Chain A
Amino acid sequence: MSTDRRGLFRHAARAARDAARAAQGLPADARPLRPPLDDTELERYGRQLVLPEWGEAQQLRLRDASVLVVGAGALGSPVALYLAGAGVGRLGILDGDDVELSNLHRQPLHFTPDVGSAKAHSAATKLRFLNPAVEIAPYQVRLDEDNADLLIEDHDLVVDCSDSFATRYTVNAACCAAGLPLVEGGVAGWTGLVMPIRPGESACYRCAFPQPPPGDAQPTCAQAGVLGPAAGVVGSLQALAAIRILAGLPDPLERAFLQVDLAEATTLRVSATRRSDCPDCAGA
């Protein structure tokens, strides 16, 4: 289906939704009233509900949220598992690849019998087992400049777990244009990076990294090598940052990113400032 034709359906669906809300006297952006947490939810989320910083309001914000996870691999696995476990209401899982045997050491959403199947669907199956209350939408597609705007639309937050600089810049530009919060992340070898981004408020990925590294300095995961737990650390930090943003908790990385060196067991918090000439976020 062409993008124009999809756009036509999308606009028709949106117009119908807005008309239905107007008929009920609701503003077009109103969300349906959700009931308080039920007994099962209290039990499932009990260990986070008892946190002093957490409560029913934060849990309901998570339940009302829709998050797109770009990539269901080494970072996307822990991100999606923790977001589904925490009770994010709707998760889009985007990945165009199939599961390979060489993925399994670092991608805990996929198991040996999944080799050869689509990662998006393999991930969706596990996430539905983990938390049937979460609506899982698998997208078996590769995100690019042509489809990025369409794919991120109708989400409240994007977590970028992709494995290429090109995709990272594309996701960053699309989120800036849409004003969507984004959690960037990356891991190579023993080092990783996590960066929560609020377009218009904090530095975006391109503000912090205006250019991708030169060709020989951007190894793919296959070239660089990575141990599963190293990716797990970075993905877990991304999930935590996403949950903080969704729940409205103060963000310790609000104007900074975190560099993690797992060979030395050190972290470095690096301040990042917005660039007034940033092609991605200057207008956000």
Chain B
Amino acid sequence: MAATLDVTALTCPMTWVRTKLALERLPAGEELVVLCAPGEALENVPRSAREAGHDVAVEGAVVRIVRR
């Protein structure tokens, strides 16, 4: 089962801080499922994850990130 993280109550930059550290704690190739609030978080978390080189898929408010 993929690790999940709920950042819906957070704002930038804590949304990405949490996501980044959760990813660092995962082995490469593992998936992290991040629940984002619509708006700023849903725009920035996938973008930051892509910029960091991870594979990203967005389904509604769910961001699936596979650690590179």
Contacts and interface: CB of A to CB of B under 8 A. Distances in A.
24 contacts: A36-B25, A37-B21, A42-B14, A42-B17, A42-B18, A42-B21, A46-B14, A47-B13, A49-B17, A49-B20, A49-B21, A50-B13, A50-B16, A50-B17, A50-B48, A52-B51, A52-B52, A55-B20, A55-B21, A55-B24, A56-B21, A56-B24, A56-B25, A57-B24
Nearest to B23: A55
Give the interface centre of A36, A37, A46 by most chain B CB atoms within 10 Å.
A46
Nearest to A37: B21
A50 B52 CA distance: 11
Interface of A: 36-37, 42-43, 46-47, 49-50, 52, 55-57
A43 B52 CA distance: 21
A49 B23 CA distance: 13
A42 B24 CA distance: 13
B33 to A, nearest CB: 19
A46 B17 contact: yes
A36 B22 CA distance: 11
A52 B14 CA distance: 15
Nearest to A50: B13
Nearest to B12: A50
